[in-house]
Structure 1
C-alpha cells in the first residue's frame, strides 16, 4: 500500500524495546499478541505468580493497540438493550450491557492505581444524530440504558449540537459525560513496561508458525525456536491469520482509516470542539473525531479511504467524508493518515473462550480499549483459579464466521451498501 504518512501516535513515542531475559525451559502461560489484551493478561498473570512469555510477530503494540483513536467509553453491544433482550432474555441483556459500565469503571481505577502516563482524560463524548429518526432511537436507547445499567447522558437539540461540534450537521444528539480519550501508544508502552517489571518475558519479531498440544500443555513453533507452555492465550484479534485458525475463523478483520490534521491554532480547535470532547455520530457507516491529547490537531476515523489508492487520492477521499461535518477542511489540511484492522465477530460481541484447549481473547468490534483490560483481568483469574473471573459473556459461545475466506470481501460490499443507505437518509432529511 502507498505510504501516506506515519501515525500521529508515533511522533515522539518510540516503539517499546523488550528487555532481554534468560529463556525458561517451560512457561506457565504463553500469550500470542503484544497488544492491550495480551500485555494486560500477561501483567495480571505474572502478578498472580505465573511465569509468562508474550510472543509478538511485529513490534510491541504493532496492531490496533497503537493505531486506534484512543477513545474510551462503556462500549455497549451493537444490538442495544432491546436487541439483546430478544436474543438472550432481559436478565442476560442487562448483565451484558452492565459489563460495559463495569469495564469503564475498572479501566479508570487501573490507570489511576498504576499511575499510567497515557494522557487519559474523561472529557465526555458528543454523539450527533443525523436525522430525527436517529435522534428518537438514540434517546430511547439512552433512557433504557440509564434505567437498567446507570448510563449518564444529557440530550441536546440542534442548537446544542452545534455548540458541541461547531457544525450544523446534526439535528440533535447526546452528551456522554463518562467517555474520554487517551494516547493509545503511550498506553501500550506503559502496559509493556508494567508487565516486564512483573517478570513477563516479551519477544518481538517472533511470529508463531504453529502450535500443537502435547502431554501437559502445548508446543509452540516460533521464529526463535520452540517454546513449551502449560496454557496458551491467543490475543491477536484483527491481526490473526491462518497460522492461528481457531481465532482467525472467528473474526473478520476490517481496515479502518485514521487521519490527523496539520497543527492548528487553539481557537480553531475550540471552534470544532468547544468542550474538547470526543465525537461520534449515528449512521451505518459513521465518522468519529477528537482533538489530539496535546490540543493542537484534530483526528478523524472511520471507513473513509482506499488504502491502495495514491496518497493524494486518499487525502481527497478523507476530506470528502469529513466535509459533511467540517467543509472547510480540504485535502491539504491532513498531514497524517494511517490504517489499522479492527476485528468484528459474527454475534457483534467480544469474547473470552477456551477453544481446543487454548484461551481466545478479542473480537472487540472496534471498542477494545476498556474491554481489553477488563477481559484480560478476568482471563488471568480464570487461569489462576480461585474465582473472581466470571463475566456475563461467559455464556456466549465464540461462533465461527460463516464463509470466513469471503468475509472481508463481503464486509467491503456491505460497507458500500450501508454508505448508500446513509446517503439516502440524508437526502430525505434535506428534502
Structure 2
C-alpha cells in the first residue's frame, strides 16, 4: 500500500533521464543574420533550418534551453487542432480546413523523419492514439470526422464503437471513440536534447540564462537588447509561446499562459498495464477540459495531464484532481501512489490555431495551444523558410496575428473562473451522457 503522505516529485518525470542544464558561457556575438528568442522546439528547429542555409544565428533563452514546455509536456505527437475538423470547416471553409489537416499530416511525417534522419534517440513509439467520446453524439461526430480524414487525406483513422472499446483501452468511461494510427509518443526531454545537439553542430550559437529586454528597429535591421549586451540582427524571430514575458508587451496581450499539469504513477504490475492499456496507445478525450494520458516509454507507468487552475506555487489540489480523474478512468488504480507531479505553461489565444505572422518587421512562430510536440518544430521550420523566402506554397498556418485579449496585460486573472465554467460544462455533459 503506497504512503500517500509522501509528496510526489515536483520536477518533470522526463528529467530523470534527460535533465535540463545551463549551457557553458560563450561570447555573445555583436551581430548575426538572425536572432531567435526562445530555445525550445520552435526556436531550435528554426535556428537549425537557418544555420544550414548559411545564416549566422543566435538563439537566446532566459532559462535553460528546453526548461519550459519542451521538456514538460506529455510527449504525444498528436498535433491537435483545438477546433475539430467540423469547426474548422465552419470557420474557414472546407478548402482551408483540409489544408490545415493536410499540413498536420505533413508535420507529423516531418517529425518522424527528422528524428530518424538526425539519429535522435527519444523513445519514439508509433502506437496510435485513442480519443474517447463522453457521449454517443460526440462519438458519431468523431467517427464521421475520422472517416473524412481517411477518405480525403488517406490518414489511417477510424471510429471505435463502445462495444469494441476495451480492445483499445481498459475503461468503461467512454461511449466509444476514434483512433488515429499516425500519432505516437516520444520522450520530450530527450527529443529536445537531440534537437539542441544538432542545432549547435550546425553552427548556431545558443545561449542560456540570457533575457531579451526588447527589440528595436535600427535602419534596415534590429538591435536586440539582452542581459548580456546588445546584438545587431538583420532579422528577428520570436518563439516564446507560453513563456512570453513583458519584454514583448504586444505579444503578451495576445498569448495567455495556462498551466498544464502531469502526474505519473508509481510502477504498475505488467498484468495490470496489459489490462488498462492493452495496445500502449496515447490517449485523449473529447471534453473541454479533457485530460491526455499515455504509458511511460518503458510501459511501466501511466502519465496523465490536464489543465491546472492554480496560478502560483505548486498546490496539492491540482494533483489530487488529476488523480481522481485517473481513478475515474481506471478504478483499479485507487490505491496506486504517484511518483511525480509537475506543471508547465501552454500558450492559448483567441483563435486557437498555431500560426506564423509578422509585426513591425519581427517574425513570430507561436500559439501552439498545448500541442507543441508536433506544431512547434513544424511552425518554427516554416517560419524559417518564410524568412529565407523559400516557404512555397505558403503554410496554411500563415495567418494574421491573433487578436489581443481585452483588458489583459500578462496576468491571466480570468483563467480560474473560466476553468471553473468549463469544468461545470464538462460535468453537465457527463450527467447528460449518463441518462
Shorter-chain TM-score category? over 0.9
1:62 is matched with which residue?
67
Unaligned 5+ runs, structure 2 = 1-6
Give secondary structure in 1 for the equivalent of 2:145. helix
Give the Å deviation of 1:258: 0.5
Query: Any idea what the Cα deviations from partners look like across 1:92-133, whole Å, max 9, x if unmatched?
Result: 222122211111111111111111111111110111111111
Give the Å deviation of 1:286: 0.5
Give secondary structure in 2 for the equivalent of 1:338. strand
Between 89-98 and 19-28, the greater mean CA deviation after superposition:
19-28
Q: Does 1:238 align with 2:216?
A: no
The 1-side partners of 2:312 and 2:329 are apart by: 25
Query: Any idea what the Cα deviations from partners look like across 1:60-88, whole Å, max 9, x if unmatched?
Result: 1011111000000343x333333223322
CA contact (8 A) 1:5 1:335 kept: no
Q: Does 1:289 align with 2:293?
A: yes
Give the Å deviation of 1:422: 1.4
1:11 is matched with which residue?
16
Q: Does 1:47 align with 2:52?
A: yes
Pairing of 1:403-418 with structure 2 (within 5 A): 403-405=407-409, 408-418=412-422
Q: Does 1:359 align with 2:363?
A: yes
Give the Å deviation of 1:307: 6.5
Number of residues of Structure 1 aligned to a counterpart in Structure 2: 429
The 1-side partners of 2:250 and 2:335 are apart by: 41
Pairing of 1:302-381 with structure 2 (within 5 A): 302-303=306-307, 306=310, 312-330=316-334, 333-381=337-385
Shift of the 331–364 alpha-carbon distance from structure 1 to 2, 3 Å rule, reads: farther
CA contact (8 A) 2:358 2:401 kept: no
Find 1:275's aligned residue among 276, 279, 292. 279
CA contact (8 A) 2:246 2:252 kept: yes
1:71 is matched with which residue?
76
Q: Calculate the TM-score normalised by the size of structure 1.
A: 0.94
CA contact (8 A) 1:378 1:389 kept: no
Q: Calculate the TM-score normalised by the size of structure 2.
A: 0.93
Give secondary structure in 1 for the equivalent of 2:289. coil
Give the Å deviation of 1:239: 0.4
The 1-side partners of 2:191 and 2:74 are apart by: 12
The 1-side partners of 2:308 and 2:164 are apart by: 27
Shift of the 14–304 alpha-carbon distance from structure 1 to 2, 3 Å rule, reads: closer
Q: Does 1:142 align with 2:143?
A: no
Give the Å deviation of 1:304: 5.2
Shift of the 250–29 alpha-carbon distance from structure 1 to 2, 3 Å rule, reads: same
CA contact (8 A) 2:239 2:380 kept: no
Give secondary structure in 1 for the equivalent of 2:356. strand
Between 278-287 and 421-430, the greater mean CA deviation after superposition:
421-430
Give the Å deviation of 1:427: 1.8
The two structures, once aligned, show a CA RMSD in angstroms of 2.1
